[in-house]
Chain A
Amino acid sequence: MTSRIGVVTFPGSLDDRDTQRAIRLAGAEPVALWHKDKDLKQVDAVVLPGGFSYGDYLRAGAISRFSPVMETIIAEAKSGLPVLGICNGFQVLTEAHLLPGAMLGNNHLHFICRDQKLRVENSATAWTADFAAGQEIHIPLKNMDGRYVADARTLDMLEAEGRVVFRYVAGADEEAGAVPGVGHNPNGSLRDIAGITNETGSVVGLMPHPEHAVESLVGNGRTDGLPFFTSILKRLVSA
């Protein structure tokens, strides 16, 4: 029996189907989870996909965080259920305090959509084991509220504990579709942080979209996003 990975659909989720597809391509079984449903259908891991759940009303992720499915996910994540939050999913994870810090509007006030270069800083999490530490990857980025902020003490703790998982770095594709004047850091995130993890490496959140880079035929033509899904599959199979 293959591993079952749940993908939550909130009202306003956009990338739930792409995420299910990425999971299938990696060899696991995607399981659709509904925001009103507390039942996780015995999944082994959960992905919170990108989009604009509840229209980003109040704050991005703030209303989704109190949905019935999140009650169960928050409780299960605290006892080890692997969770990946992509874009809006990352915002939900910070609002749920499963990850520290918060997400705010891009510092340049524009929506940004481009191919983004990242450096994998931590390849020991449940979702990044198939990368090499220091590896540089390109995956699409598309967001309005991508500015990661936390107080200096929290940032120092994340760095000291190796919990910064991805950082924005300069790449040749940087200007493709870029907002004028926006450099390698696409949103003003503190210390160029693109993604972080919890104490145990089971919960990971990032702004860019690995599920859009899993096949050479479509998306950005790269498969740099696939290792997210093969990493978790290996973890689940060996567990």
Chain B
Amino acid sequence: MARVVVDVMLKPEILDPQGQAVQRALPRLGFEGISDVRQGKRFELEVDGPVDDAALARIHELAETFLANTVIENFTVKVEEEK
């Protein structure tokens, strides 16, 4: 079993009001010096069998068609090292 992580973030030009709300709450909690927060999504996929090029290509396709909406979001796919 191996884990593949897909991170999805709104594209930089897309307004992220949730991230802004988090950022505005930071000074109230005593966190200073953080000028911007953007909120994204992380998917952890437990893959049966080897994570070879073919499996990664399939996951890339899955991320592109389903996990992310590439009209508004960018994504990265990375294999997590086994501990």
Residues of A near any B CB (own CB < 8 A): 58-59, 62, 66, 94-95, 100-102, 104-109, 147, 149-151, 188
> Are A150's CB and B69's CB within 8 A?
no
Question: Which of the candidate stretches B15-23, B26-34, B47-55, B75-83 sits at the interface with the other chain?
Answer: B15-23
Q: Mark B1-25, 1 if CB is under 8 A from A, else 0.
A: 0000000000001110110010000
A62 contacts B66, C-beta separation under 8 Å: yes
Which secondary structure characterizes the binding site on chain B? loop
Contact B66 A107 (CB under 8 A): no
A105 to B66: give the CA distance in the assembly, Å: 18
Chain B min CB distance to A9 (Å): 22
Q: How many residues of B contact A (CB 8 A)?
A: 11
With a cutoff of 8 Å between Cβ atoms, the chain B residues found around residue A108 in the complex are 17
Q: Closest Cβ of chain A: how far from B13's Cβ, in Å? A: 8
- Residues of A near B66 (CB, < 8 A) are 58, 62, 66
Q: Which residues of B contact A149 (CB under 8 A)?
A: 14-15, 71-72
Interchain residue pairs with CB less than 8 A apart (21): A58-B67, A59-B69, A62-B69, A102-B69, A102-B71, A104-B72, A105-B17, A105-B18, A106-B17, A107-B17, A108-B17, A109-B17, A109-B18, A109-B21, A149-B14, A149-B71, A149-B72, A150-B71, A151-B13, A188-B15, A188-B17
**Chain A: CB-nearest residue to B43:** A58
Q: A95: which of B18, B21, B67, B69 is its contact (CB, 8 Å)?
A: B69
Tell me the interface secondary structure of chain A in the complex. Answer: loop
Smallest Cβ-Cβ distance to A107: which chain B residue: B17
Please, which residues of chain A bring their CB within 8 A of the CB of B72? 102, 104, 149
Question: Chain B nearest CB: distance from A214 CB in Å?
Answer: 32
B71 touches A107 (CB 8 A): no
Shortest distance from the beta carbon of A128 to any chain B beta carbon, whole Å: 24
| Minimum CB distance partner of A147 in chain B | B15
Bound-state Cα–Cα, A62 to B70, Å: 12
Contact B14 A104 (CB under 8 A): yes
Q: Name, among B18, B21, B66, the residue most crowded by chain A CB atoms within 10 Å (CB to CB).
A: B66
Top 8 nearest A-B pairs by Cβ distance?
Answer: A102-B71, A102-B72, A107-B17, A109-B17, A102-B69, A59-B69, A149-B72, A109-B21
- Residues on A with C-beta less than 8 A from B67 are 58
Contacts of B18 in A (CB 8 A): 105, 109
